[in-house]
A and B are shown apart, each in its own frame.
Chain A
Amino acid sequence: MYVAVKGGERAIDNAHAWLAEERRGDPGVAELGVAQIREQLALAVNRVMAEGSLFDPDLAALAIKQARGDLIEAVFLIRAYRTTLPRLGASNPVDTGAMAVDRRVSATFKDLPGGQILGPTFDYTHRLLDFKLAAEAAVPEAATAPALAGPVPHVTGFLNRDGLIEGAERSDATPPDLTREPMELPADRALRLQAITRGDEGFVLSMAYSTQRGYGRTHAFVGELRIGRVAVEMDIPELGFAIEIGEVELTECETVNQFKGSKTEPPQFTRGYGLVFGQSERKAIAMSLVDRALRWKELGEDDTGAPAQDEEFVLMHCDNIQATGFLEHIKLPHYVDFQSELELVRRLRAEAMAVQEAAE
């Protein structure tokens, strides 16, 4: 039951004014610019774009500033904003094989065509706090070497030539879109990937970790991880042909898993797939593990009852905006709900005590 209650307007206005002041912090410290967040907190910006499901670094940086660095609140702001935008169309599927790679590594092949390109990675750092960053200092220029020629081929492409790995059959079917129609289960793989790529990084990470620890065990190798920029192409109705409408940074992960074969398929490697906006490596790896775990039915594997194999569990709980909305709403006034609970508990106690007294 809902009862409209008025009042609290002044308190709310004052709370928001104080929020603005707290957001600014000590006025003696220089204010943070949106461009500074975009350039210097780029991985936070990437996460907000991935989970907000909108590639626009300036908007994500603004959202982070407004949310005082609360990334889920920032994702919420982006999700709310995107609902105000008219949908101009859908792009042609991006060609990650043509990616201009900043980073490309394989844990399965040492000497692969195109090589192991480390890129700007945290890997191999010692994870010791660098106190030099506490002081402003010029950054030495990164080393350069002659650019490598040509596109970098996918690892799965050359495994596929020997038939050692399952193919990914090309189709041009229009994928389902959970931002247009409510998600229906069972979901096909395309819908699952859409849900996971915008899912909470922490949730997807934990789900993936659980499969590694044995809950729905799928022993995965990172066949390939690549980060870089791809062009986005869209058919323009006024023109009747496609143009590039921009460029996005993506992280792609292809995992390779053992598969002992089924009634219809010979033993071969199977694949998990992760593709995420921005430089979002942990999320992309986790996504490909969860994608692979959710494919148990299609591949004729056993359902071990593991959470990561449970499509409904994963897809209905991976969205941090849905989760936070439902979780945090319980802090809002529930006076009438609680009043009825209070009356119920009082009545039950009175009845229980009456029974006890009668027994004595």
Chain B
Amino acid sequence: MNADSPTDQTARRDWMSALAKADPARLAALMPELPALEPLRPPEIGAVMVRGRVGATGAPFNLGEMTVTRCSVRLADGTVGHGYVQGRDQAHAMRAAALDALMQTDQAERLQTTVLDVLVAEADVARVQRAEKAAATKVDFFTMVRGEDA
């Protein structure tokens, strides 16, 4: 795959983002076996400084950190994969890196269907469920009959 082309870059961005936010146990259940790989950078737990903007749209400021674990691997055929995942689960980062590598091989189509599409669909369901609860708490104002109208 040519990772430099904009379409491929968007696709890779999407799958890496889905893997970063995935529940580690769910990802492991969807993809129990790791391929043969060589760790280029073993899983490393670290912090990322999360930034906001002053007044939501202005200059950046440092809000606080979040935990992130990263990992890089190389498959037997030389394909390199990177994982950056939220939290401190090293197996999660390793699995994300392996999947990132595999998604650049001829296994991409199968893994897209069996792993990534499932993760994205489940995340969508969870998001919609919250949004539906929020929508039920939306206020419908109505005006009472006022004195001068009566």
Contact = CB atoms under 8 A, between A and B. Distances in A.
B138 interface: yes
Nearest to A160: B57
Contacts of A157: 57
Contacts of B78: none
Contacts of B60: 93, 171-175, 190
A87 B70 CA distance: 12
A17 interface: no
Contacts of A56: 66-67, 87-88
Contacts, number: 238
A34 interface: no
Interface string A245-256: 111101010100
B62 A90 contact: yes
B21 A246 contact: yes
Nearest to B18: A244
B146 to A, nearest CB: 15
B139 interface: yes
B47 A239 contact: no
B82 interface: yes
Interface in A332-358: none
Contacts of B135: 117, 144-148
B76 interface: no
Interface string B51-71: 111111111111111111010
B51 A245 contact: no
B50 interface: yes
A94 B3 CA distance: 26
Nearest to A110: B141
A234 B85 CA distance: 11
A143 B85 CA distance: 33
B61 A189 contact: yes
- What size tier do the contact residues of chain A reach? 35 or more
A179 to B, nearest CB: 8
A268 interface: no
Contacts of A117: 134-135, 137-139
Contacts of B63: 94, 194, 197, 250, 275, 277
B115 interface: no
Interface string A165-200: 001111111111111000000000111011001100
Given A197-B63, A243-B20, A243-B84, A232 B48 contact: yes
A120 B134 CA distance: 8
Contacts of B139: 115-118
B31 interface: no
Interface stretch (A66-74, A100-108, A129-137): A100-108
Contacts of B65: 53-55, 82, 85, 87, 179
B47 A85 contact: yes
Contact of A96 (B17, B56, B66): B56
A347 B131 CA distance: 74
A243 B84 CA distance: 9
A118 B137 contact: yes
A212 to B, nearest CB: 21
A183 B48 CA distance: 20
B77 interface: no
B48 A89 contact: yes
19 contacts: A54-B47, A54-B64, A54-B67, A55-B65, A87-B46, A87-B65, A103-B134, A116-B138, A117-B137, A156-B56, A168-B53, A178-B62, A197-B63, A236-B84, A243-B20, A244-B16, A244-B20, A246-B21, A275-B63
